[in-house]
Structure 1
Amino acid sequence: MRILVLAACWLTALAGEAAAQPVAQQVAVSSCTRTETDGSRALCHEAVLPASAHDIWMLFATSEGLRSWLAPVAAIDLRIGGMWEASYDASARLGDPGNIRNRIMSYLPERMLSIQVANAPPGFPHAERVAELWTVIELEPVSAGETRVRVSMLGYGEGEADDALWRMFDAGNAYTLQKLGERVGERR
């Protein structure tokens, strides 16, 4: 989140700016950050949300779901190699060069989605480095009506670029889970 995803989660150029905006309903987002066995750093955030894994999956894995909480312009082609495209600019159109594009690396329906930045917007800091990171979004049912959502952004090493991206996505990915929690709360 943000990517993420992520990315994207999770995953977005404007996540740092968005993190400064007030949040209407607080979701308990916790850190699960870790160092992997190969020495790389994994940025990780998670939250238990009051919805089924199916319902949360639909918010990540469909264009309509993404537009309902992530960004006003968003689409996903859910297949290996497919694209997850988004823009926070409501006047943007799919295919615009300023949009964020993440390539789908793998997925397990209602359980996991992994993405990697395929195209960072013009002027994105450390664009060459962010393209080497990837995000894994995991959904783990806790009960019939609750799901743990974990967003791990992997591949961080040492150095100025990695540290700058870490700070940006640390705030952005936590904000993205907050927004997802707010969206899930609206459905109750």
Structure 2
Amino acid sequence: MMRFVFALLAGACGLAAPAAATDRIIVASIEVEASPAEVWQLWTTEAGLSFFAPAAEIDLRPGGTYEVYFLPDAPEGMRGSEGTTVLGYQENRMLTVTWALPPYMPEVRPHLTPLTLELEPLDETRTRVTLTHSGWGEGGEWDDAYAYFQENWPAVLTLMSEALTPEAE
């Protein structure tokens, strides 16, 4: 109703109506044979993130750095999720960070998007991990980035699960 009223007022005043917000959200989930504390260590330490990136810089505090480098030797701005920060966390339960879109997508690269990881204990040895990535625009490279992460976040969760699985002896 408010959008309709604003649109009427905007039209009467010669203003443009606000752009509609996108409802696109990526949600990927997996159950792993690990405690929330074990999963937490993977996502909140530089060594832990090695399950899917060769380097990272993490300062685990609200406003602290949370950068993940897929190409650590590349020039600044081309290494991965750079310029990203911790938005908030609840230890062993939830982590929310900003996430940078791929460097080869210059139209959307400057727009950091929120990424939340939730850890739900199922019992003493199993955890449900749910990753939610929101903040998507529409059209052009936004569509490409959305499609890329729709495919890749489930793959990242599979890599995480594999990293948590003890090797058979």
Q: TM bucket by the smaller chain?
A: 0.7 to 0.9
| Residue in 2 that maps onto 1:29 | none
Unaligned residue ranges in structure 1 (runs of 5+): 1-37
| Residue in 1 that maps onto 2:94 | 112
Q: Distance in 2 between matches of 1:150 and 1:136?
A: 8
Q: Does 1:185 align with 2:168?
A: no
Structure 1 residues 39 and 86, CA, compared in 2 at 3 Å: closer, same or farther? closer
| 1:114 partner amino acid | T
Q: Hey, which of these two has a bigger chunk of strand by percent?
A: 1
Which of 41, 49, 53 aligns to 1:66? It is 49
| Residue in 2 that maps onto 1:86 | 68
Contact 1:129 1:161 survives alignment (8 Å): no
Larger Rg: 2
Name the % identity.
27
Q: Does 1:44 align with 2:46?
A: no
| Residue in 1 that maps onto 2:104 | 123
| Residue in 1 that maps onto 2:128 | 148
Structure 1 residues 159 and 183, CA, compared in 2 at 3 Å: closer, same or farther? same
Whose RCO is larger (CA < 8 A, sep 6+)? 1
Q: Distance in 2 between matches of 1:159 and 1:96?
A: 27
Structure 1 residues 186 and 176, CA, compared in 2 at 3 Å: closer, same or farther? same
What SS is found at the alignment partner of 2:63? coil
Structure 1 stretches of 4+ with a deviation exceeding 6 A read none
Matched residue count: 146
| Residue in 2 that maps onto 1:176 | 156
Structure 1 residues 115 and 53, CA, compared in 2 at 3 Å: closer, same or farther? same
Contact 1:64 1:75 survives alignment (8 Å): no
TM-score scaled by length of structure 2: 0.75
Unaligned residue ranges in structure 2 (runs of 5+): 1-20
Shift of 1:97: 3.4
Q: Distance in 1 between matches of 2:27 and 2:116?
A: 9
Contact 1:61 1:78 survives alignment (8 Å): yes
Structure 1 residues 107 and 139, CA, compared in 2 at 3 Å: closer, same or farther? same
Structure 1 residues 50 and 81, CA, compared in 2 at 3 Å: closer, same or farther? same
TM-align CA RMSD: 2.4
Contact 2:98 2:115 survives alignment (8 Å): yes
| 1:58 partner amino acid | Q
Contact 2:63 2:85 survives alignment (8 Å): yes
TM-score scaled by length of structure 1: 0.68
Q: Distance in 1 between matches of 2:158 and 2:42?
A: 14
Q: Distance in 1 between matches of 2:143 and 2:150?
A: 10
| 2:52 partner amino acid | L
| 2:105 partner amino acid | F
